[in-house]
Amino acid sequence: MIPVELQEHIARRWPGQAQCSFDAATSTTEVGCGHAALADVCRYLFQERDFSFAGLIVEEGANEWQLRYVFYGAGDGGWVHVLARAPLAEGVFPSVVEPIHGADWHEREAEDLFGVHFEGHPRLGDFVLHDDVWQENVEPMRHGFDAQAAMRHRRPAADWRPHRALEELGAFIMPIGPKFSGVTESVHFLLETVGEDVVRTQTRRFYKWRAIEKLAEGKAVDEVLLLAERFAATTAFAHGLAFCQAVETISGAQVPPRARALRVFLAELERLRQHAGAIQEICESTALVVANSQAGMLEEELLRVSCELTGHRYLFGLLAPGGLLCDLPTDACRTALDQSQAIAKRLNRLDHELRISSSFLDRLEEVGIVQPETAKAYSLVGPVARASALARDLRRARPYSRYEAFSIALPVEQEGDRYARLRVLFAEARQSLRIMEQAIAALKDGEFHVPLKLRAGAALGWVEAPRGGTFHWVRLDEHGAISRYRVITPSFINWHSFQLAAEKFAFQDFPIILSTFDLSVGESDR
């Protein structure tokens, strides 16, 4: 058994510095780790044992900080939570970015929002709380920070300038944003160059940081479910499901089989619609007017299928901890499947037409490349990771709902360029239909919801959202209210590597590279 072998190895390798315990109910190994061994234990899990790094969870206790580094493996590997503690007055931890580069932004976010310091980190500050907007030492996620009180005497850094890498003669920074027309939210790109090619890309986000993790504190579960569904509206069902599963784990609830099958059906309907939307964005970025219109119509028709089946185009208001708020008739689900299959046939025709368009392929192939080693180093998720040979999908690695009972063929490409990401989107859209068919076949009459008895505790909920793995950490107090809510989204993870894909290519390639990443500002800025 892998968890037993893993615990024994850690105990032998770091005697007295790492203590392991195992929770069979959640297949989670907890490793209490001293500061001296923290980076080495994380390196061992990530590099030697090939565990995936999910993210960092910071919790402020009454007397101490607790940092939880979350890893997961495929099959029997289970979950591993590496826990590090420090006195509340101290708040200093060793950085783990050297063995796990994907932890870089997690540590920067924790330093900005909690004031926790990471020794050895190459660049802290000016991340979520921009130095030209916020003053130092605000720490808005601390318990003592009053989110309702107005901030007075704000003293942002008036002399702020963007960090530059190029200093030679003729070097300049091309700013893009942070204001955009349409539905694009605020994000600021700084493209450094000495000519026509982008040499370095900086991405500044969080202009509309909504602090949902802070807003959730003290609220009831049902209220926070509304936040989970709305901070990234186009993937509302995925994030709501991850939150519900965390609450269900705390409560020890067993969701009825019918509800679990319906959850899978709706999750794949959302994935199909989201991928159609991502394909439309790619066609738009390459100035293919007809293909853009065709993909846009397909996305709109899938939105109407969702609305006809559930009453909401983006599947709001369906989920509840314990199952679903209402049952969906099996015949109505079959009708939705038939409609989706008809739409998918036209999506397949669009795929074929794009593959034989040489002018379209010229704009996608061998540009915006993310190498497989980069995808692993940055812990990328979703179609972006799978286009770079990283076969990572929570539906298979850590199955939830009823995914363990369904056949899932994982589309994986090797090139890591813009065309590889597009091919993965088309292949996953077809795969979603096959999973929907299996979910319909698994539907049996029965309950669609069970009541929950909330109790104090904490748990992780996870879902393979359309953009990739998302992780929701929920802690409930003795009254059943939220005392800590932590959300790690696929867009937050994947934005980290976007800057590398956009470098060493021409300016006109930038919007196309951006569209193939299918990144959400709202999902990242949460």
Q: Distance (Å, rounded) from C-alpha 298 to C-alpha 289?
A: 14
* pLDDT higher than 60, residue 1: no
* pLDDT higher than 80, residue 501: yes
Check whether domain 2-119 has CATH 2.70.50.60, yes or no: no
* pLDDT higher than 60, residue 495: yes
Please report which confidence band the pLDDT of residue 76 belongs to, taking 50, 70 and 90 as the band edges.
Answer: confident
Higher pLDDT, 115 or 158: 115
* pLDDT higher than 70, residue 34: yes
* pLDDT higher than 90, residue 105: yes
* pLDDT higher than 90, residue 389: yes
Residue from 174, 61, 162 nearest 458 by CA:
61
* pLDDT higher than 60, residue 398: yes
* pLDDT higher than 80, residue 147: no
Tokens found for residue 307: 């609305």
343 contacts 302 by C-beta, under 8 angstroms: yes
Residue from 421, 457, 515 nearest 249 by CA:
457
Of 20-34, 37-51, 181-195, 319-333, give the lowest mean pLDDT range.
Answer: 181-195
* pLDDT higher than 70, residue 153: no
Q: What is the pLDDT of residue 396?
A: 94
Q: What is the pLDDT of residue 218?
A: 94
Q: What is the pLDDT of residue 423?
A: 97
* pLDDT higher than 90, residue 111: yes
* pLDDT higher than 80, residue 181: no
* pLDDT higher than 90, residue 378: yes
Tokens found for residue 460: 């992780």
Tokens found for residue 435: 């999973």
Q: Distance (Å, rounded) from C-alpha 255 to C-alpha 267?
A: 16
Which class is 213-490 in CATH?
mainly alpha
Contacts of 341 (CB under 8 A, 6+ apart): 433
- What phi and psi, each to the nearest 5 degrees, are found at residue 83? -105, 130
| Average pLDDT rounded to a whole number, residues 10-25 | 89
Phi-psi region of 81 (alpha: psi -120 to 50; beta: other; left: phi over 0): beta
Q: What is the pLDDT of residue 136?
A: 72
| Average pLDDT rounded to a whole number, residues 337-349 | 97
Q: What is the pLDDT of residue 295?
A: 95
Provide the H-helix boundaries in 159-211: none
Strand order in the sheet with 457-465: 457-465, 468-476, 482-488
| Average pLDDT of the residues of the chain | 92
Q: What is the pLDDT of residue 426?
A: 97
Q: What is the pLDDT of residue 8?
A: 86
* Beta strands 117-119; 92-94: pairing state: parallel
* pLDDT higher than 60, residue 355: yes
- Tens digit of each residue's pLDDT (9 = 90 or more) over 188-202: 888 888 877 888 888
Q: What is the pLDDT of residue 297?
A: 97
| Average pLDDT rounded to a whole number, residues 325-340 | 97
Tokens found for residue 417: 């360029």
* pLDDT higher than 70, residue 372: yes
Q: What is the pLDDT of residue 179?
A: 79
Domain boundaries, the chain: 2-119, 213-490
Please report which confidence band the pLDDT of residue 155 belongs to, taking 50, 70 and 90 as the band edges.
Answer: confident
* pLDDT higher than 80, residue 149: no
Of 135-144, 327-336, 337-346, give the lowest mean pLDDT range.
Answer: 135-144
